[in-house]
Amino acid sequence: MSRSKRSDQTKTNNKGQRMLALAVLLLLIAGGLFVIKYFGTGDDGGDIPEWSDNGGTSAEEQSGLPEYSGSNYVALNNNVPDFPGEMYDKAGLVNSGGKWKTPGTLSGVDSRKLQPYEYYGELDELGRCTVAYGCLGLETMPPGGEERGDISSIHPSGWAKAQNWERAHLIAWALSNENANERNLITGTHYLNYDGMRPLEEEVEHYIWDTGNHVLYLAKPVFSGKEKVARGVNMMAWSVEDGGAGISFNVYCFNVTPGAEIDYNTGIVTTAEQAAQDARRYVINTRSGVFHYPSCDGAKQISARNRKEVTATRSELTSKGYTPCGYCEP
């Protein structure tokens, strides 16, 4: 009985020692993990701040936008223009029996009574373009021999350096003779400019040159939530004198670069090639949030206090809100 009891006690003591040893071991492992997590291994850039959402977009807000699926533009409203009423008023058009006419003109539209004009909406509270429209004709187009002006002074909302952004006219220069008008220029991809908008702009331009007729024309950038870069541009056009027989469309052009990822808040573009890059050494200015290749002069000038070297992929840095240097273009 007593022997058995002693044996039980021994057993209990052994069990207690084993549990103590296990607990100590677990503490050591946890402690080690703590040290790695909070003090870093010297190579993992452990204190990169979390990217804070600066007013992005909910799924609900995005749901109304067409999804890019390979076409440079898609039709809206069955390709039928849906202009605000004041566009007709400003052009001097009245509706008579379902047709738009110039008043007192029996046959329909008298070109001489039409009022060519251009309207550029004020920037919104986020500094974004709102809308541009007009009744376009030879009167609004650049006179022969006119050359395009410099528009590089304009930095449209969402503009980020070294991301291959272009300044995209809402109403093309060839139709409006507008140069550095901040209400008419948005941050756009080459694809938006040349594959999306340009063929439509040229169609209108050639129609006006060929006929001398006028075209009601609207271009409206479409933003998602509070994003600074437009997701696309809604373009509508309708030839006035022939009631839309020559020109009539209502489309949405995508502000994308096929294969690239665009952050529509920051304007940072990640090409497929950049997304596939391995982790490498970068130097971050923790004060400005700009990152560089270590060889960049800009990186060498960062004060020790604000300088941080990390090994990371470009995507990891941009997704945390860091922006690539405009000089070394990492």
CB of 328 to Zn ion, least distance (A): 3
Alpha helices, DSSP H, located in the chain: 2-39, 59-62, 85-91, 173-176, 190, 198-211, 272-275, 297-300, 314-319
By the criterion CB under 5 A, which residues form the site for Zn ion?
A: 292, 296, 298, 325, 327-328
Instruction: Give residue for tokens 């703590």.
Output: 34
**Rg of the chain over CA atoms, in angstroms?**
31
Distance, in Å, from the CA atom of 270 to the CA atom of 263, rounded to the nearest integer, reads 8
Q: Which is nearer to Zn ion, 247 or 312 (CB)?
A: 312
CB of 109 to Zn ion, least distance (A): 58
CB of 48 to Zn ion, least distance (A): 18
Distance, in Å, from the CA atom of 327 to the CA atom of 330, rounded to the nearest integer, reads 9
Q: Which is nearer to Zn ion, 151 or 269 (CB)?
A: 269
Return the bridge partners of 74, or none. Answer: 252
DSSP annotation of 241: T
CB of 327 to Zn ion, least distance (A): 5
Q: Which is nearer to Zn ion, 181 or 323 (CB)?
A: 323
CB of 133 to Zn ion, least distance (A): 41
CB of 162 to Zn ion, least distance (A): 9
Report yes or no: 241 and 109 within 8 Å, Cβ to Cβ.
Answer: yes
Give the β-pairing of 132-136 and 215-222: antiparallel
CA torsion sign for 98, 104, 110, 116 is: negative
Q: Which is nearer to Zn ion, 9 or 301 (CB)?
A: 301
Q: Which is nearer to Zn ion, 177 or 315 (CB)?
A: 315
Q: Which is nearer to Zn ion, 226 or 308 (CB)?
A: 308
